[in-house]
Each structure stands twice: as structure tokens, then as C-alpha cells.
Amino acid sequence: MYGFRLGLFLLITTVVTAEVQLQPLNAAVLRGSKARFNCSTTQPPSVMTWMVNGRLVVTILQASEVFNSTDRYSATNFTTPGNYRWEIVISNVQRDDAGEVTCQVLGGAARMATLSVQERGSVEIVGGNQTKTEGAQTEFQCRAVGWFPEPNVSWSVNGVAYSCNTSSVAQGNLFNSSCTLAVTAVKNSSVQCLVKIPALSTPDSNTVFLTVEKLAKRDQTVLIAVTVAFSAAALLFLIIYGIVFFCKRRKKKSSYQEELRRAQIQSQNRTPATENVRGWDNRGYIGDGHDGHANGGVWYTNHSNKHQAPDGFFHDGRRNHRHMTIV
């Protein structure tokens, strides 16, 4: 009895002392891909069992026998001397595979790893490529739809990383996340949205381009165009004004001359003949002063007696006109 107990104790001790290792302890894979785990012991295992989420999926017997529950689970022998190692591969991983993966060797402690089954969604930058004028405020919104777990969204503008405040909504097991990047349009840039979950070794991304139109140059051309147009208009106006002014002046001048002439005539009419040399030439001049005006020779009389009008005048009833020629 005692001997049996001792024997059992020894057996248990030796079995329990068998070292069991499971690798990796954490695995994150995309749904539909493969998950791999290695389990190794230092003692030849009489029985090795694999469980996924509490379900027995693979049993390996020392007698070179492998039983698998479905063909989604397979085991490969990687045993080397002193290291009894088996790898199991879970193909086409499903969401219900997520959880605990356990390797147990008879007489050894169970080893447990964690399997995370993740979902890869889509990445979209709302609005796509953008064209902005220089200095304009621009927003880019990145939408990551259908991810699990909640993804880490970040930006890269011309290769420079920007973190962002991701806001997410969950629908069932999936997350929609969005994140907005506000930039000032300074130069042509490539704007990349990066979406990362642990199962992805490299993030998924989407890239759009920000084309910046140079405002200053455009303004300058506009300014130049406006200036030129304005100058041309001003010039045209000046020319027209000049012409009009010139014409007016000429007209004025001629009328002025005429007036001058008239004035001269009048002054000649009013001036006593003695003072008007030209008067001599005038045949209408009568120097005899017969009408009794002072000094005689008065040309023009507009008063009272019509009959006093000198010869050479004709009378129109109101005024006396004198036809004459100036030499």
C-alpha cells in the first residue's frame, strides 16, 4: 500500500515535472486566415491534447496517431531529440475560435494562449482628392468601416505622421471609426490615412492628394489684367477728352475770332472816324458830320430819328445795320 502510494507520488512528480511550453502566448489573426501554435515538452508525451475555446480539436497519441475534430485543425510533428514539439494550425479562423487555446500534456500543466480573431474593414477618405487655394483651411475625413477591434487611425501628410482623435461606433462586433484632419493648404501634399489593428503587420491605408493653387500668382495676373484694362480705359478717355477739348477750343477760338471781329466792327462803329484809320477805307463812312453829332463822323445812331441815319445804313425798324468790309 505504502509502496503504491510512493510509486504514484513518484509518477505524478515525474510527469508533473515535465516542462510544457506553448508559443506564442498571444496571437492576433484576421478572420479567414491561419493561426499557428507550438507546444513542446521535454518528456515524450503519451498524450497531447489541444483545445480551442474549450472544444477538443486535436489529440496526439504517442503511437504516431493524430485525431482532429475537423480538417480546419491540423498538427505537424516538429520533434527533435529531447524536444517533443508539435505545431497546430487553425485554418480559416472563425470568430468563435477567438479565446483560449490550450495545450495539455498528460501529467503536465495545461498551457494557455490567447487567440484574437480580427476583422479587416475598409479605409476611405471622404471626398477624395481636393483642390484648394493657398492658405485655405482644409479638412480630410477618414472613415474606417467594419473593423474589429476598434482600429487605430492616424494620418501621414507627406510622410509626416499625425495622430488623431478617433471616434468609433460599434455595430455588433464591428467598429466604424472616423477621424478628421484639419490642415492649411500650403503645398501640394499627399494625405494618407492609416488604419491599424494588431493582426495587420502593416496598416491599411488610403491616399488622396491635396492640390494647392497658388493664390498670389493668380491674384497678380488678375491685378495686372485689371491694371492694364484700367490704364487702357483711362488712356482712351484721355484721348477722347483731348480730341473733344481740342475741337471745342478750335470752335471757341473761331467764334472768339468772330466775336473779336464783331467787337472790332462795333468799336469801329462807335469810334469816331478820325481815330479809325480803317474807316477811311469804308465807303459807308460819311465824315461830314451833317447830323449834328459832336465832331461829326458818327457812324451809328440808334436813337430817335430814323431819317438821321447816314447813307449806307439800312433801316430794319429796330436797329440799324451797316454792311462793311474790313480790309
Ligand X SMILES: *[C@@H]1O[C@H](CO)[C@@H](O)[C@H](O)[C@H]1NC(C)=O
| Amino acid, single-letter form, for residue 259 | E
Angle (CA) 46 53 76, round 5°: 45
Distances in whole angstroms, Cα of residue 157 to Cα of each of 106, 151, 173, 189, 255: 56, 19, 31, 7, 80
Our finding on whether 187 is near ligand X (CB under 6 A) is: yes
Question: How far, in Å, CA of 194 to CA of 127, rounded?
Answer: 16
| Amino acid, single-letter form, for residue 108 | G
Q: Which residues does residue 320 pair with via DSSP β-bridges, in sequence order?
A: 315
Span interacting with ligand X, options 33-41, 245-253, 278-286, 312-320, rule CB under 6 A: 33-41
Span interacting with ligand X, options 169-177, 276-284, 290-298, 317-325, rule CB under 6 A: 169-177
Q: Which residues does residue 140 pair with via DSSP β-bridges, in sequence order?
A: 181
Our finding on whether 169 is near ligand X (CB under 6 A) is: yes
Nearest approach, Cβ of 98 to ligand X (angstroms)? 17
Which 142-161 positions form the footprint of ligand X (CB under 6 A)?
A: 145, 152, 154
Angle (CA) 282 287 289, round 5°: 140
Our CB check for ligand X shows the closer of 187 and 293 to be 187
Binding mask 65-104 for ligand X (x = CB under 6 A): -x-x--x--xx-xxx-----x-x-----------------
Which 223-242 positions form the footprint of ligand X (CB under 6 A)?
A: none
Residue 20's SS3 state is: strand
* Residues ≥6 apart with Cβ < 8 Å to 182: 137, 138, 139
Cell numbers describing residue 37: 501554435
Cell numbers describing residue 218: 493668380
Span interacting with ligand X, options 208-216, 228-236, 258-266, 268-276, rule CB under 6 A: 208-216
Nearest approach, Cβ of 219 to ligand X (angstroms)? 14
Q: For ligand X, which residue of 18, 21, 33, 36 counts as binding (CB under 6 A)?
A: 36
Our CB check for ligand X shows the closer of 103 and 286 to be 103
Taking alpha carbons only, the member of 98, 122, 94 closest to residue 32 is 94
Nearest approach, Cβ of 100 to ligand X (angstroms)? 16
Q: For ligand X, which residue of 26, 137, 165, 201 counts as binding (CB under 6 A)?
A: 165
Question: Beta-strand (E) ranges in 119-251?
Answer: 122-126, 130-133, 137-147, 152-157, 160-163, 167-171, 174-184, 189-196, 204-213
Binding mask 125-144 for ligand X (x = CB under 6 A): ---xx---------------
DSSP 271: S
Our CB check for ligand X shows the closer of 68 and 264 to be 68
Our CB check for ligand X shows the closer of 208 and 273 to be 208
DSSP 287: T
Which parts of this chain interact with ligand X (CB under 6 A)? 23, 36-38, 64, 66, 68, 71, 74-75, 77-79, 85, 87, 128-129, 145, 152, 154, 163, 165, 169, 171, 176, 187-188, 208-209, 211-212, 214
